[in-house]
Structure formats: structure tokens, C-alpha cells
Chain A
Amino acid sequence: MSMNRREFLQVLAIAAAGGMTLHSDIARAEAAAAKMYELPKFGNVSLLHMTDCHAQLLPIYFREPNVNLGVGSMLGQAPHVVGDRFLKHFGIKPGSAEAHAFTYLDFVEASRTYGKVGGFAHLSTLVKKMKASRPGALLLDGGDTWQGSGTALWTNAQDMVDACKLLGVDVMTLHWESTYGADRVKEIEEKDFAGKIDIVAQNVKTTDFEDPVFKPYVIKNINGIPVAIVGQAFPYTPIANPRWMTPNWSFGIQEQGMQEAVNAARAEGAQVVVVLSHNGMDVDLKMASRVSGIDAIFGGHTHDGMPAPTVVQNPGGKTLVTNAGSNGKFLGVMDFDVRDGKVRDFRYKLLPVFANLLPADAEMAAFIDKVRAPFIEKLSEKLAVTEGLLYRRGNFNGSWDQLLVDALIAEKDAEIAFSPGFRWGTSLLPGDTITMEHLLDQTAITYPWTTVTNMSGEMIKTILEDVADNLFNADPYYQQGGDMVRIGGLQYTCDPAAAMGKRIDNMMLKGKPIEAGKTYKVAGWAPVSEEAKDSGPAVWDVVANYLRTQKVITQRPLNLPTLKGMDGNPGVAV
């Protein structure tokens, strides 16, 4: 569905009559829409933050999760609140445009009302608007920018590199960028980005002599005030993604290195020190409680769109921790009032990017058209029509992943299928046509090979326990920030608060218990070991085949584990 601005405002007016909260006449609807982006200027140092856009150049739908469990000290704390509990936590009015942007509530209906979100042309208009009202403002990009679309993959990230330069990104850090290989990342840093965009990452060192691979931080002068931006790349890149793609780079959390970088930046004269982080929010919160001297951590990775920062106390004072969601859906705006060498006060707003409320920037729109042109035919191939809502995000499963594991089981003649717990991947509304582009939004990675493995029941259990511990370890520093592996065929019980090795139970296949010593045929994709390179055809080819045969994708039940001990947890809603 594509509407112009006026049509959209008409819909808003009708929606208001039907109970939505925007005003019921066009003029007032327009005023309300404009007001959303009229942020009063505050202070003298402003930083704009985007993260995890996953190469989505065009507006998309993205459903926020209804399962985002927090265990231990994270129980009920941001970001582990969903749905109504989320609205209550942040004081957002139910039924409002913001309630739609930040939660899964009434997703289909509200998506039809408010339309798509994000898109670089619309984001660009918003960035320009914010920069105009906030002279000297910098745009920070938290990473996961070069991966997530067919065009990013086929241009070897060049489309996103050029789009970011045009958008006016000033500083960035990394995660999925590394899956293009170390040489490609350095090539972009040294050629495309030279003099334009700084890549910062204090926690990336060479594996041999521990020499820094990137600048740990940069200091920028904003309205006469030195502001340091320290980089923190995703600490578990060589574990969650193939290590062989960056064999000579070591990552990790490096708390001590962070403290040293902050101290060095302060010693160099920085009056404001912020961290541009790809840790994931729970890791950021812990780091903020242990490292002193950081004014704010601008976080990403876990795709948590947080309307307000969490204020964390530490030995040196207070640190703000934000997280700016994903898929180009939001732009974070932080205004600092800096006086006498210190941050005295702040204002923060995470603005939803409603494509229908922000006209497309002409220059960016033309660039996107140009970069997509050679691939349009391939991208637009119609594979099937979906009867139900397709989405990915959630701790255990999403309807897109259910479709992927169903396809893998059918196409590979397997008993069980695994699909990685990625948090990226756009949503489709009931009745939408699934094109090759949409399928690539779920699968476009540089190691897309499918696998078929004969696994013992014991091995299956080990894998599930391992991934569950990466998600639910009570110590955030041991969390990798993805979701649980998606599983087709096999049912199980999960007790997230249990200890490592004790979370998974009652594994069943077709009504029979999984036997430790028995072998099962398991299909999967995205293998991280180098030996599994080219193990089978790319997952998008396998799934496209399935979709073409099916033609119509019926709404299918999600294979979800039976949860233990999570009653009343505000991180789950059914």
C-alpha cells in the first residue's frame, strides 16, 4: 500500500473517528503529525543516533516482540517489558501512534492505518530537520548497517556505504559489517570513508600483538565543546558469526580497555564522553554500572526501541543508556546542556520514522532508485501470497521463522530444522505478496549455506542448552544478544531462569521423546565453521523453491516451547 501524505492524513482522520487518538479532521491531524517532529531545541550539544537498520533502504513494516523475557536482576526492567506492560512502563497512551511504533499491539490494524516505517529517504528528511534545528549535531550509526538486504549483499555493502555517506553519518561502529571480511571493512574505512566517516571500536585488537584495529575513539568539536565518541563493536562477533571472516581480529567486552579509553579521552580534554555501542542493552547496562566517566551509551544490537534512557549509577556518577531499535524505524535525538566543562542536563527522544509523515528526500530517493535498478527484476519476483502476518522478532519464534523451518523440513526431507535466532528481518501483512526481496530481508548473509546433519539426541540437547544460555545467562556479560534458535519438528519445555544445562526438557518429536543415543536428520542454515562453507545451496534458493510450490502460505501455528517459571513475567504476553 502506498499513500501520499494527504491520503495518509485522511486515513488518520478516519482512524481517529474509529478510536485512534489522532484528531478527526485533516487540519488537526496534520498539525498533530507535524508536532511529532517538532522537538524543541535544548542545550548546546546534540547527537543523533541510528542503529541496526539492517540495510533497509525502503520503508518497511517491523513488528516489535511479544516475548522479550528478562531473568534474574533483569526481570521486569527495560528492555524486558512488552505490550501493555511496555506502555505502562514508559507512560505511553494506548492506541497512539507511539504505542504502535514501540509495541506489537494491534500490529496489523495499526500498520494499515499508519503505514510503513523507516526508509533512508524519509530518515534523511528527519536527519536534515534535526540538524537544521540543532547546529553542529552529529549523526552516529551503531552498526548492523551493511547487512540485511539483497542489494547490500550483491553490492558487497557498497549501496549502504554510499547511502550512509549521503545521509551524513559522522561516526560508526560494527557488527555484521565484519561478515564481509576484514579486508573489505578496512577497504571501506580507508577509501570510501576517508575524511568522512570514522569507524570507532576500542575492543577490536589483532589476535597476535593486540594492536588496535580501529580508532578507539574520536573527539569532535561541537559548538566549541570537545565531545568524545568511544566505539564498542559487538563483543561476540567471532563467536556468533564466522570467525574465519576476521581471523586476525579479537573482540570481547574489554571493560578495562573501555575505562582506559574514557580516561584517555577525558585527559585529552573531552567534556562529554559517549559510547557508541553494539553490546546489546543488558551488556550496556552492566558496563554502565562498572565503568566511570561515560555520560551516555548509545546502544543497539538487541533491537530494543526504548522511548527513554535508563539512568545507571556507577562509582563516577551517572550514565544514560539508550537503545534505538532497528530497521530504520527510529532516530534517537540526545540534547546535552554542557556548561563549565560538564553535562548538566539532557533531553532525549526516540522518534519513530513514519514514512507517511516525512516526505522523501529527493536526493536520497534518487540514489536508492539508481542503486536498486540493476536488481529490480530479481528482487520483484513474486514467490507466494501470505494469508497471515509474517514477522520474526521474539525470544523463541516468529511466523517468518516458522515458514523457514517448515520449508527446510520439506525441501531437505528432514525430521527437525533449526533457524538462527536473528533479530533482524522485516514483517509482511496478511494478503501481502512475498517477493524475493522480502525473502532476502530474512536471509541475506554472506554465509547462507543450508546444512543437513545427522545429530544425536544428546547433541541436539547440547545445542539448545548452549543457545539458551547465550540468551538467558543471569550475567549479561555472557549474553550474545540473539534470540533462541528457531526449531521445526521438535517440541520442548524451557525454564529460562534455570542454570546452564538445566533449561531444556521434555524434548519430543511426533509425540515420542527424543533419545540421547538416537540419530536424527536435522536441517539448518548459516553455519559458522569454515569447514561448512558451501555445505549446501543458499537458504533463499531452498525457501524460494518451497514458496513457489506452495503459492499461498496459510497462517500456521508457531512451534513454541512450553515455558516454565515465567508466569507474570512482564516480558511475555500471549
Chain B
Amino acid sequence: MNHQRRDTLKAGGGLGIFGLLAAAGMIKPEMAEAAWNKAAFDAHKMDDAMSALGAGKPAESADVQITAPDIAENGAVVPVGVVSNIANTESIAILIEKNPAMVAATFDIPAGTVADVQTRVKMGQTSDVYAVVKADGKFYMAKKEVKVTLGGCGG
């Protein structure tokens, strides 16, 4: 492979990839406002965030899998993915325990959709990352530690 896909897209489309994405998928803030769980995104304590999500103290489930690096390459853009193998998954939330505001994202999963989401989150320090899944009205979770280090001094 000579070029990264981004280069090809840049060369191919005058808009560039970011332009293309924006044009294709941009959601205006007011469009999202309706479904916006303000209390959850504003929470500064894990208990508050969980209760704003309606989750209480969810049980850990092996059917919820988090994909995230063991050590973040760049704390500013940490790739986090969640897969739920629980039937009738309705929503997935991603929480970063040590972030000032814990809830990083919530996803509504329409019926019949594969419950497999991915996003990028910002992390200032080493923290547990939580995935909270709502299925058939019940809540389940999984967590994984992601280290944010100073770097250097290796190998």
C-alpha cells in the first residue's frame, strides 16, 4: 500500500476527508438537543453519572466487551470501542472515571442494529473506562484500565 486511505481521499475529493465527513454526517447541536441527557453529561461523580443514566449499580457482564489500548498512544484521542452481545441492547454509554465529566458518549441502539460502537475519547490521566449497556430495561457493565503515561525512556 503506497498511500494511506486519507491521502487517497484527499487527492480524490476537493473537500478532503474532513470536509466529506462533515458534509455527510454533520449533526447540528440543536438536532441532538432533544435526546441529550444533560444531567449525565454534566455529572462530576461516578454515582451521579450512573444514576443520571438510570443505571444505578450495574452488574459486570462478560457479554460486554471494551476494546481500548492498555496504554494510550495519545491521551487526546484514545480509541474506545464497545460490543454488547446481550439481546435487545437499547443503549451503550462510555464513561471515563478520572475525567472531570465522566460520561464521554451515549449511543442509542435501534432495534435490529448490531450493538458495536466506536469513538475517540480524551483522557488526562490513567483511568478505568466503563461501558454501561442497557438491554431489556436492565443495566450491565464492563471496565478496563487505560494507562496514560509520560512516555520516553523505553527500549
Contacts and interface: CB of A to CB of B under 8 A. Distances in A.
Contacts of B126: 500
A320 interface: no
A236 interface: yes
Interface string A544-571: 0000000000000000000000000000
B150 interface: yes
B5 A420 contact: no
Contacts of A234: 155
Nearest to B150: A466
Contacts of A420: 152-154
B70 interface: yes
B2 A190 contact: yes
Contacts, number: 95
Given A206-B5, A209-B5, A213-B1, A481 B70 contact: no
B137 interface: no
Interface residues of B, number: 24
Interface string B84-109: 00000000000000000000000000
A239 B6 contact: no
A346 to B, nearest CB: 29
Contacts of B67: 256
A527 interface: yes
B70 A253 contact: yes
B21 to A, nearest CB: 10
B69 A252 contact: yes
Given A190-B2, A213-B1, A236 B71 contact: yes
Interface in A48-62: none
B153 A211 contact: no
Contact of A211 (B2, B5, B17): B5
B126 to A, nearest CB: 8
B151 interface: yes
Contacts of A211: 1, 4-5
A207 B77 CA distance: 10
Contacts of A206: 4-6
A476 to B, nearest CB: 10
Contacts of A418: 153
A421 B5 contact: no
B73 interface: yes
A528 B4 contact: no
Contacts of A463: 150
Interface in A232-249: 234, 236, 238-241, 243, 248
Interface in A468-496: 469-470, 475, 477-478, 480-482, 485
Given A236-B71, A466-B150, A480 B155 contact: yes
Interface in B1-60: 1-2, 4-6, 17
B150 A485 contact: no
Interface of A: 144, 175-176, 186, 190, 206-209, 211-213, 234, 236, 238-241, 243, 248, 250-253, 256, 301, 418, 420-423, 462-463, 466-467, 469-470, 475, 477-478, 480-482, 485, 500, 526-529
Sorted nearest first, the 5 A-B pairs with minimum C-beta distance are A240-B154, A482-B154, A528-B152, A420-B153, A480-B154
